[in-house]
């Protein structure tokens, strides 16, 4: 297998084999930023436990800090359940100084050519092509939960842990959505579309032919400004198509015909969206249409902008509602995506 598979299952399995130590930021009760260490040893994540009832802990600054630290670790445990799928597609720019609206020229290409040097002739100097200016908003994303007097009175610390984990799952689900939805929702022009192929006697042959034609169509489309063609190395599809797509990319023999493997694809991403009900409302992030797939030329036309990643702190009590405290998380991020310059949408047979 010459490609890497990015799906919830494969990435979870990969994490189970790793040993990781990472500092996660949070805000202390005194307003200063601090860090708690997240440790995964041989795939098992270390968690924190309260040494006394939460009602006692939140009465002191040190106790409340411990509550926030445990919340951060439990939240990270939730994030481990929803791995980030979009990372191979995007390059990252992280800067705490990003303004509310970031003026960027995202698509920069260095252009250099070697030519035969003629005597007394000047060397041909390279230049930089800079794409058109764009303004991208940095969006503030927030979530939180409260714990009531009953949670404190009855020692229901487990409820806070469950809410923390759910918050972590929700954050990673949001990140997958805001980075993959621009690709799967874009209205592509004809040059970026490849119809399902009828070539071949079997379904797998037709699927292979469709993917191959999509790669050919992408390579035939030159960017009007840079002159570069698209060379997709990532295939994004619905998880229900995973096994068929993997079969179609392999070397195969049908009858007397030998098909060489399609080696241009180095990564497969399978995404079926996310859905959660909060209160009476259902929030749903669409996944890839099972009848579509996307061949993606990564990085150049996709940028993940991070002013700051998720930060957690605690809010005070609200006696009128018998609220003992609250946990609030927020992140400030932006996304740059130009699918027309980098994606070939294919209809699957």
**Cβ partners under 8 Å of residue 171, min gap 6:** 75, 78, 79, 141, 143, 310, 329, 331
130, 151, 177 — which closes off a domain? 130
One domain, residues 256 and 115:
no
Question: Can you tell me the distance from the alpha carbon of 228 to that of 218, in angstroms, rounded to the nearest whole number?
Answer: 11
Using alpha carbons, select from 117, 165, 118 the residue that is nearest to residue 145: 165
Domain range for residue 46? 1-99+136-349
Question: Can you tell me the distance from the alpha carbon of 82 to that of 79, in angstroms, rounded to the nearest whole number?
Answer: 5
3-state secondary structure of 39: strand
One domain, residues 199 and 226:
yes
Residue 183, φ and ψ in degrees, nearest 5: -85, -45
Q: List C-alpha distances in Å: 136 to 131, 171, 183, 336.
A: 14, 21, 17, 7
- pTM here? 0.85
130, 149, 172 — which closes off a domain? 130
One domain, residues 160 and 232:
yes
Question: Can you tell me the distance from the alpha carbon of 26 to that of 34, in angstroms, rounded to the nearest whole number?
Answer: 6
> Packing angle between helix 61-81 and helix 8-15, nearest 10 degrees?
120
CA atoms within 13 A on the CB side of 252: 17
What integer pLDDT is reported at residue 117 of this predicted model? 55
pLDDT tens for the chain, 349 residues long, are: 578 999 988 988 888 788 888 888 888 777 788 888 888 777 677 776 766 656 556 666 677 777 788 888 888 888 889 999 999 999 999 999 988 888 766 544 545 556 555 555 655 555 444 455 567 889 898 888 776 666 666 556 667 778 888 888 999 999 999 999 999 999 999 999 999 999 888 899 999 999 999 999 999 998 877 778 899 999 999 999 999 999 999 988 777 778 788 999 999 999 999 988 887 888 899 999 999 999 999 998 899 999 999 988 876 666 666 566 677 888 999 998 989 999 999 999 9
One domain, residues 214 and 227:
yes
Using alpha carbons, select from 329, 317, 321, 332 the residue that is nearest to residue 58: 317
**Residue 322 DSSP one-character state:** T
One domain, residues 111 and 260:
no
One domain, residues 219 and 248:
yes
Q: How many domains does the chain have?
A: 2
One domain, residues 208 and 245:
yes
One domain, residues 105 and 95:
no
Specify the pairing of strand 20-27 against strand 4-6. unpaired
One domain, residues 108 and 231:
no
Question: Can you tell me the distance from the alpha carbon of 293 to that of 238, in angstroms, rounded to the nearest whole number?
Answer: 7
One domain, residues 31 and 123:
no
Question: Can you tell me the distance from the alpha carbon of 34 to that of 68, in angstroms, rounded to the nearest whole number?
Answer: 11
Strand partners, 305: 93, 334
What integer pLDDT is reported at residue 128 of this predicted model? 46
Query: Which stretch of DSSP H or E encloses residue 66?
Result: helix 61-81
One domain, residues 49 and 181:
yes
What integer pLDDT is reported at residue 129 of this predicted model? 46
One domain, residues 299 and 156:
yes
3-state secondary structure of 221: coil
């Amino acid at each position: 297998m010459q490609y890497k598979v990015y799906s919830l299952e494969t990435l979870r399995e990969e994490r189970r084999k790793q040993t990781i130590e990472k500092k996660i930021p949070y805000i202390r009760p005194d307003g200063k930023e601090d860090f708690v260490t997240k440790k995964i040893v041989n795939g098992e994540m270390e968690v924190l436990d309260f040494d006394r009832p939460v009602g006692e802990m939140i009465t002191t600054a040190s106790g409340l800090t411990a509550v926030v630290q445990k919340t951060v670790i439990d939240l990270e445990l939730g994030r481990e359940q929803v791995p980030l799928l979009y990372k191979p597609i995007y390059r990252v720019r992280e800067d705490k100084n990003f303004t509310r609206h970031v003026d960027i020229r995202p698509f920069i290409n260095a252009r250099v050519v070697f030519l035969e040097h003629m005597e007394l002739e000047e060397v041909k100097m390279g230049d930089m092509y800079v794409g058109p200016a764009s303004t991208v908003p940095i969006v503030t994303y927030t979530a939180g939960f409260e714990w009531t007097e009953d949670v404190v009175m009855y020692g229901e610390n487990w409820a806070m842990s469950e809410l923390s984990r759910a918050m972590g799952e929700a954050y990673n689900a949001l990140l997958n959505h805001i980075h993959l939805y621009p690709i799967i929702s874009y209205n592509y022009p004809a040059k970026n579309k490849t119809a399902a192929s009828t070539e071949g006697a079997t379904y797998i042959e037709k699927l292979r032919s469709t993917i191959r034609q999509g790669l050919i169509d992408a390579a035939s489309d030159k960017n009007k400004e840079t002159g570069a063609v698209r060379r997709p190395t990532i295939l994004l599809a619905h998880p229900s198509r995973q096994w068929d797509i993997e079969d179609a990319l392999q070397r195969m023999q049908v009858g007397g015909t030998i098909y060489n493997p399609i080696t241009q694809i180095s990564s497969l991403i399978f995404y079926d969206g996310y859905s959660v009900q909060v209160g009476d409302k259902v929030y749903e992030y669409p996944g890839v249409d099972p009848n579509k797939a996307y061949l993606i030329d990564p990085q150049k036309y996709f940028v993940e902008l991070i002013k700051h990643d998720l930060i957690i702190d605690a809010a005070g009590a609200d006696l009128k509602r018998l609220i003992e405290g609250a946990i609030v998380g927020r992140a400030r991020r932006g996304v740059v995506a130009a699918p027309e310059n980098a994606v070939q949408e294919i209809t699957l047979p």
